[in-house]
């Protein structure tokens, strides 16, 4: 067992989850099982290998361009207005569980 | 005309029937709704029907026919959409309770492009919660049964998209594929499923699971229909900066070209790493026979090596869950979706909302991804997986110097039983063993039916191609499909 109960509690806090007692037991078992399998990645020597976050800077772009220049097609000139209408206020609030009609409402954050 | 008992309904069939006035778009949509209402109680493919929207669109098409106007390329074709793509004014759940009442204020680009081409959207399709799963058993709403054997899963995560086409409840559907979620259910349900190149189809309006791995693509009864849908949804979209500035060919013209288009023999790579332990004997037999069939069409079969394949699943489940943990941080009960009631503090409200709103598999992946990104483990897991991603991508680059496409099984087995793997997440993850690498590398892949097991369960042949070379992938798949029809299976 690499992942401990303490780790599960800590990671749950980072992930903004409570998890029930039963879920914590399952999580401990499952994370250890999955990470045990993932450990086989250590069989590979990756000392001189660049990490890859995404594919779009390698394929379908002009390889002679460097860095963000490769994505120049996705950029546009700055425009002050008339680009695209923002979501109307009313529509932005429509799906919210609680509002006062102007703002999203949440439990009180600051005591005074 | 009538849909009747046929489930092999094609786009051309629908277009011609409407253009020749044997039916109307409205009548056709009604026939599909009648079938959905009769059969879907048992199958479970649909989560939401959009009858009003479908009727309005069908009436627009019928008016164009009546006025003798030129018809758009998918005029009146009944389609349906995986419920991870947002639809303006139409409930979109991502298969999750946390979005149970979410009414999006905008349309996903792929959906908007289908409608602009005249397609009639029948409704939203069931899927694993946030597209996380390989059996559709992680839907927060209902099971999907495989139309070919109702005791079995349809595959996942786009199980509803595959089942709807297989059961004749839509002519074509859209799904999403982050690790195999289009190709694996297509294989399990005996239909065609295509994951395009990363960047080929805009992800705008696709509820994000793992942004560097997510793809939208079509399900259909035929390769040509998949090509027709791809042609409609592909191409640069200013709303997705990762959608590529690469011209979109006419895929239908591409697949109608002779298979040896360049004047040379088409070269098909076969990698032994895709035929190792864990591959079901009957699946192996059917896929090997399919490759022989392609050889008999004059293709050259070339052994290739993809030596790092066995590391694809561990690398994938780190990269995918790390991205998921970040993407799903937005579900906090403030701006949209479910909110837990009665919390005293903001922190409590966030945690209780996420605890109550997410299912077990989603929580498991958020936990795994958060762990892999946390201080002390980032280098060992996330950075390591990103480096292995480079190696896996290089494997394909090397192979495609020698061959035009690569043929492989889509999944190691045919559809498994409902409940069979539900308690063993690792066993479930291994169902994606032949599909995840294409997501890490971003190459296109298609699953096309290539036979059945003795029990009558469909088997899928997978064909990979070079980046942005969906044309060749479709051409090979269409040639195989044609040979299967003519020569039998």
Predicted pLDDT at B8: 64
- Segment A92-99 mean pLDDT: 96
User: pLDDT, tens digit, for every residue of B2-30?
Assistant: 444 455 689 999 999 999 999 999 999 99
Residue A37 lies in a domain: yes
How far off is chain A from B45, nearest CA to CA, in Å?
A: 26
| Number of neighbouring beta carbons within 10 Å of residue B325 | 23
How far off is chain A from B463, nearest CA to CA, in Å?
A: 19
CB atoms B387 and A49 under 8 Å: yes
B334 part of contact set with chain A, CB < 8 Å:
yes
CB atoms B393 and A58 under 8 Å: yes
pLDDT beyond 90 at A63:
no
Interface predicted TM-score (ipTM) of this complex, two decimals? 0.94
Residue A54 lies in a domain: no
What's CA B352's distance to the chain center, in Å?
Answer: 32
d(CA B224, CA B206): 24
d(CA B82, CA B160): 7
Predicted pLDDT at A75: 83
Residue A31 lies in a domain: yes
Chain A contacts in chain B segment 93-132 (CB below 8 A): 101-103, 105
Locate B428 and state its tokens: 């479930």
Residue A65 lies in a domain: no
Contact of B107 with B39, CB cutoff 8 Å: no
Predicted pLDDT at A86: 83
**Of B299, B290, B305, residue with least CA distance to B267:** B299
Question: Active-site residue B181, yes or no?
Answer: yes
d(CA B373, CA B157): 25
Total domains present in chain A: 1
**Domain with A22 in it:** 5-42
What is the average pLDDT score of chain B?
95
CB pairs under 8 A between A and B: 180
Contact of B206 with B113, CB cutoff 8 Å: no
User: pLDDT, tens digit, for every residue of A19-49?
Assistant: 999 999 999 999 999 999 999 999 999 999 9
CB atoms B390 and A51 under 8 Å: yes
CATH code of the domain containing A22:
1.10.20
Residue A25 lies in a domain: yes
Instruction: Point out the catalytic residue in the list B50, B134, B139, B157.
Output: B157
pLDDT beyond 80 at B302:
yes
Residue in A35, A56, A91 closest to B244 by CB: A56
Question: Active-site residue B417, yes or no?
Answer: no
Q: Which helix (H) or strand (E) holds B112?
A: helix B109-116
Residue A36 lies in a domain: yes
pLDDT beyond 80 at B486:
no
User: pLDDT, tens digit, for every residue of B234-287?
Assistant: 999 999 999 999 999 999 999 998 888 767 899 999 999 999 989 999 999 999
Locate B284 and state its tokens: 């192996």
Question: Active-site residue B387, yes or no?
Answer: no
Residue A15 lies in a domain: yes
B383 part of contact set with chain A, CB < 8 Å:
yes
Residue A32 lies in a domain: yes
Q: Which helix (H) or strand (E) holds B459?
A: strand B458-465
How far off is chain B from A47, nearest CA to CA, in Å?
A: 9
Chain A contacts in chain B segment 392-411 (CB below 8 A): 393
User: pLDDT, tens digit, for every residue of B437-448?
Assistant: 999 999 999 999
- What are chain B's domains? 11-253 (3.90.1300.10), 256-309+390-487 (3.90.1300.10), 314-379 (no CATH)
pLDDT beyond 80 at A103:
yes
Q: Return the minimum-mean-pLDDT range out of B149-163, B256-270, B363-377.
A: B256-270
Q: Under DSSP, is residue B252 helix (H, G, I), strand (E, B) or coil?
A: helix
Going by pLDDT thresholds of 50, 70 and 90, the confidence category of residue B489 is very low
Eight-state DSSP code of residue B330? G
B388 part of contact set with chain A, CB < 8 Å:
yes
């Amino acid at each position: 067992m690499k992942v401990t109960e303490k780790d599960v509690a800590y990671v749950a806090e980072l992930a903004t989850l409570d998890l029930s007692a039963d879920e914590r037991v399952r999580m401990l078992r499952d994370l250890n099982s999955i990470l045990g399998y993932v450990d086989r990645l250590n069989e590979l020597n990756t000392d001189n290998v660049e990490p890859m976050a995404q594919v779009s800077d390698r394929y379908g772009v002009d390889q002679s361009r460097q860095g963000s220049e490769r994505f120049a097609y996705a950029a546009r000139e700055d425009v002050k207005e008339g680009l695209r209408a923002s979501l109307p206020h009313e529509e932005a609030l429509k799906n919210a569980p609680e509002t006062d009609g102007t703002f999203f409402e949440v439990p009180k954050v600051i005591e005074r | 005309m009538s849909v009747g008992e046929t489930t092999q309904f094609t786009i051309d069939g629908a277009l011609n029937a409407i253009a020749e006035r044997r039916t109307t778009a409205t009548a056709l949509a009604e026939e599909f709704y009648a079938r959905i209402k009769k059969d879907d109680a048992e199958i479970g493919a649909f989560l939401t029907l959009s009858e009003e929207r479908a009727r309005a669109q069908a009436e627009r098409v019928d008016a164009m026919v009546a006025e003798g106007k030129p018809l758009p390329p998918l005029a009146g074709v009944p389609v349906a959409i995986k419920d991870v793509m947002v639809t303006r004014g139409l409930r979109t759940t991502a298969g999750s309770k946390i979005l149970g009442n979410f009414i999006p204020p905008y349309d996903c680009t792929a959906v908007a492009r289908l409608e602009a081409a005249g397609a009639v959207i029948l409704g939203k399709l069931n899927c694993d919660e946030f597209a996380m799963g390989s059996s559709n058993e992680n839907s927060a709403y209902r099971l999907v049964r495989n139309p070919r054997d109702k005791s079995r899963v349809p595959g996942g995560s786009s199980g509803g998209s595959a089942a709807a086409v297989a059961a004749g409840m839509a002519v074509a559907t859209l799904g999403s594929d982050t690790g195999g979620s289009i190709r694996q259910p297509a294989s399990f349900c005996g239909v065609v499923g295509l994951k395009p190149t990363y960047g080929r189809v805009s992800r705008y309006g696709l509820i994000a699971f793992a942004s560097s791995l997510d793809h939208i693509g079509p399900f259909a009864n035929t390769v040509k229909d998949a090509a027709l849908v791809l042609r409609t949804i592909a191409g640069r979209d200013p709303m997705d900066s990762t959608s590529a500035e690469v011209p979109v060919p006419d895929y239908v013209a591409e697949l109608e070209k002779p298979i040896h288009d360049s004047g040379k023999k088409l070269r098909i790579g076969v990698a032994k790493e895709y035929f190792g332990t864990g591959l079901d004997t009957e699946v192996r037999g059917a896929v090997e026979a399919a490759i022989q069939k392609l050889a008999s069409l004059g293709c050259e079969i070339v052994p290739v090596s993809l030596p790092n394949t066995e590391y694809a699943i561990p690398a994938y489940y780190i990269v995918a869950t790390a991205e998921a943990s970040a993407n799903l941080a937005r579900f906090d009960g403030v701006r949209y979706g479910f909110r837990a009631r009665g919390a005293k503090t903001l922190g409590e409200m966030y945690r209780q909302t996420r605890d109550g709103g997410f299912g077990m598999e989603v929580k498991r992946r958020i936990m795994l991804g958060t762990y892999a990104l946390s201080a002390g483990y980032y280098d060992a897991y996330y950075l390591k997986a990103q480096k292995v991603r480079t190696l896996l991508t290089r494997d394909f680059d090397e192979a495609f110097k020698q061959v035009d496409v690569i043929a492989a099984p889509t999944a190691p087995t045919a559809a498994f039983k409902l409940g069979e793997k539900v308690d063993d997440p690792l066993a479930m993850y291994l169902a994606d063993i032949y599909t995840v690498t294409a997501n890490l590398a971003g190459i296109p892949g298609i699953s096309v039916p290539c036979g059945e097991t003795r029990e009558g369960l469909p088997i899928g042949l997978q064909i990979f191609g070079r980046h942005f070379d969906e044309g060749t992938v479709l051409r090979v798949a269409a040639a195989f499909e044609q040979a299967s029809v003519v020569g039998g299976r």
